[in-house]
A and B are shown apart, each in its own frame.
Chain A
Amino acid sequence: MNIDNIRNDFPTLHQEVFGHPLVYLDNAATTQKPQCVIDTIKHYYEKDNSNIHRGVHSLSERATKNYEAARETIRSFFNAKSTKEVIFTRGTTESINLVASSWGNQNIGKDDEILISHMEHHSNIVPWQMLCERTGAKLKIIPMNEAGELDLNAYTALLSVRTKLVGIVHMSNALGTINPIEGMIKQAHEVGAKVLIDGAQAAAHIETDIQALNIDFYATSAHKMYGPTGVGVLIAKEELLNVMPPYQGGGDMILMVTFEKTQYNELPHKFEAGTPNIAGVIGFGAALKYIQDIGFTAIKKREKKLLDYATKKAQAFEGLRQIGTAKHKACVLSFVLDGVHPHDLGTILDREGVAIRAGHHCAMPVMQFYKVPATARASFSIYNTEAEVDALFEALAKARDMFA
């Protein structure tokens, strides 16, 4: 993998911010888009723009073909069993809400328990809280240790026949922790619980084989995988989707409507109400092909080297406290700096051309655990370089000096 070639694929990287070359280290929030994704979306709007699944003309046929081809790309990327299991949504958040509303309303009662972890972001907390409020079920939390690793003994103790669903993040956006989901899924299945994996953060960095892991529900977003915003996917086992009621009504989700009764369309269309984000879905497919072309072996090797380099620098940086030091982690350096609030760091670094995230990363319980109001977070991607890590730490030194 040639880093210069990779960087050349991403037009946004080649610009100056306040007179400095842009150093984009906010990839956990959203990644930049390669030219092939931009071109694919442009091509759709320039040549194929049309509604899908019902037009009898050429443009509609092309749009439909490309939309469904993207579904197959996504199926193959995550190794789902069938394209019937691949439901397009607006993103991870909508995917989780779909499960909580449709499957949750049907399967959760007042004596049931839903298990999530302490490191979930709000999208994998709030829909379950809402479900618990509707049904009287209990939300239980898998604790974590100071390093930001889940307490697996506590997890075992929390699991019981009352556990109906376990919702866990594959990789924490606030800490970088990669959770040992394989064993956790097996354990959940032993007590009869279903498992939802929030793959938003992990999907661009580590491979996820949905069949091998035996995942019941999998949610992720395109925009963290070099694809467009506003589109994501829910991948779920066909037998679960078959009996789940539709989430929203209208558009492609129907076969026949009379005022007496509606006959729902078959999978996956049953869960895709209304005109979808056609260009977004096609762009999503292009983004996954881009990742496949590079390959996870190369991605993981490159990103590990970068994280190790950044971690060493962080450990040597006076006054810096890392938040999240799990043994298995990827691509995220979350930290606080003595005497400088993360929000001030964000502004000061921006003026040096370095884009990081400052805040609670939509994971307020994680902040409460570490007793910090916010952290600064540098998150890396395939196109980042050691020189950019150096630029980060030079800017951090400037910030420290300002407040010294």
Chain B
Amino acid sequence: MFSLGDLYKEVIIDHTKAPRNFGKLEPCSHDAEGFNPLCGDQLHVYLEINKDNIIEDVKFEGQGCSISTASASLMTQVLKGKSVDEFNALFGAFHDMATADMNDEPDEEVLGKLAVLAGVKEFPSRIKCATLCWHTVKSAIEDAGEPAKTE
């Protein structure tokens, strides 16, 4: 049985208490808001994407639980310097990890330190917390104009 410790690893608690890249990025080339209507989590991500489609900088603001805050914090660390294509690949890998079977090991080669969030797959009600920031970045890049939702 997965224990609470599998979800609330030390790294997650650390990022909850001191989220990295927290704040507003001004000016920025892309931004979007994300909501999780079920629990009231709110997120705003800011991206600076250069003409070569490289994410030069990324920041986030918002209110949310420890899983959504830590996930956004870790995501911003990983995304800096990555191309938009690489983001899309990571988005898919992260989504797969969060919704995988219990016995599937996360692909640490692709996911790197994001694999620390693999525990959410055993907490179905928390998967949306972890994926909200990824949906929000996707909507910023696609310039959807509508807030991202996890519904």
Contact = CB atoms under 8 A, between A and B. Distances in A.
Interface of A: 18, 339-344, 346-348, 351, 358-360, 364, 367, 373-374, 402-403
B82 interface: no
Contacts of B69: 341
Contacts of B17: 339, 403
Contacts of A374: 39-40
A339 B42 CA distance: 17
A358 B36 CA distance: 13
B73 to A, nearest CB: 14
Given A18-B1, A402-B4, A403-B13, A344 B40 contact: no
A343 B41 contact: yes
B66 A373 contact: no
A360 B16 contact: no
B15 to A, nearest CB: 12
A341 B13 contact: no
8 contacts: A341-B66, A343-B64, A347-B123, A348-B8, A351-B3, A351-B4, A359-B40, A360-B39
B55 interface: no
B7 A347 contact: yes
Contacts, number: 53
A372 B67 CA distance: 17
A213 to B, nearest CB: 34
B64 A341 contact: yes
A362 to B, nearest CB: 10
B1 A344 contact: no
Nearest to A340: B66
Interface string B60-71: 000111110100
A341 B16 CA distance: 10
Contacts of B38: 359
Given A360-B39, A373-B41, A403-B13, 17 more contacts: A18-B1, A341-B64, A341-B66, A341-B69, A342-B39, A343-B39, A343-B65, A343-B67, A343-B129, A347-B4, A347-B123, A359-B39, A359-B40, A373-B39, A373-B40, A374-B39, A403-B66
A403 B16 contact: yes
Contacts of A403: 13, 16-17, 66
Nearest to B69: A341
A124 B123 CA distance: 32
A344 B68 CA distance: 10
Nearest to B1: A18
Contacts of B67: 343-344
